Amino acid sequence: MSKTFAFFGASTGCGLAALKLAVSAGHTCIALLRDPSKLDAHFPNQPANLILQPGNAHDVTAVSSCLTVPGNDTQLVDAVYFSIGGKLDMSKMGLDDPNVCRKGMATLLEALGQLRAHGAQGRPLIVPMSSTGISDHARDVPLLFIPMYKLLLAQPHKDKKAMEDLVIKSGERFVVLRPSFFVEGDKPGNAIRVGIEDPKTGVEKLAVGYTISREAVGGWVYQHILNGDASQYSAYFSFQVCQWTGYVFLSLIPTPIRAIATVRARSALEPATGLPQ
């Protein structure tokens, strides 16, 4: 059955990987981009089911334009894939916009509230991209990564945590994804595994790993969340996926390792259901 998805941050990475699959499968996809021409190379003949909206994810009006079914302003989209981010500024040891994700999520939630106030119906599944290394309950990254996460990624992780807190308290349906450290190059034949964390009661299934590709995360999100039965995931907070990678940090670890990409946990609003394989 065809669905309608909104994409924020789909010009590259995980969002673009999921967008390509969703468009190819015939779903209606609405993507907000500051520069829509960035997708010209990926969609040279823009299909009818892909709608590109110019605008900024921190602009309520622009975000609102992506959240209803085309031709039906009273029906909200089925799901929102939220993967916006900033550019890493080494001089600041952080992002060029230190609050990019928090502000983006606040804008999204405000837009949903305004649309509902004007009669729009529906509860889209919100799927934000977060990060490992910010769990309140357990260490989900290798010891080797802790210095990098505490120093280089401290500020981006603070922003991700603030974003998570907003969506957890929002009353919306959500699945938060916490990818581990990204590497280039997909490993399409590699298995993906899932770990689970509940935002209130803690870890249900711990998974600790090193890296994953953006393509693998985007593909997994499309297959198991966007293209799946969203209702069975509405009770969860985040996912953790694994796949085989090659060497990590060049010669520091000379053997293949399991790579983890997302952590999942229950929302306090709904009971837990089945777990994807």
What does the pLDDT read at residue 256?
Answer: 29
- Residue scoring higher pLDDT (95 or 233): 95
Burial class, 31, CB count within 10 angstroms (exposed 0-12 / middle 13-18 / buried 19+)? buried
- Average of per-residue pLDDT across 226-248: 49
Look at the domain 4-267 and name its fold: Rossmann fold (3.40.50)
pLDDT tens for each residue of 108-144? 999 999 999 999 999 999 999 988 888 878 787 778 8
DSSP 148: H
Whether pLDDT at 253 is above 60: no
Query: Chain-wide mean pLDDT for the chain?
Result: 78
Tell me what percent of the residues of the chain surpass a pLDDT of 70: 74
Burial 54-91 (b: 16+ CB within 10 A, else e): ebebbeeebbbbbbbbeeeeeebbbbbbbbbbbeeeee
Range with top average pLDDT, 63-72, 209-218, 263-272: 63-72
Residues paired with residue 196 on neighbouring β-strands, in sequence order: 205, 239
- Average of per-residue pLDDT across 14-35: 96
What's this model's pTM, rounded to 2 decimal places?
Answer: 0.82
Which amino acid appears at position 81 of this protein?
Answer: Y
Whether pLDDT at 172 is above 50: yes
In this structure, are strands 125-128 and 173-174 parallel, antiparallel, or unpaired? parallel
Domain boundaries, the chain: 4-267
Task: Pick the closest to residue 222 from 233, 212, 211 (CA basis).
Answer: 233
- Average of per-residue pLDDT across 24-44: 95
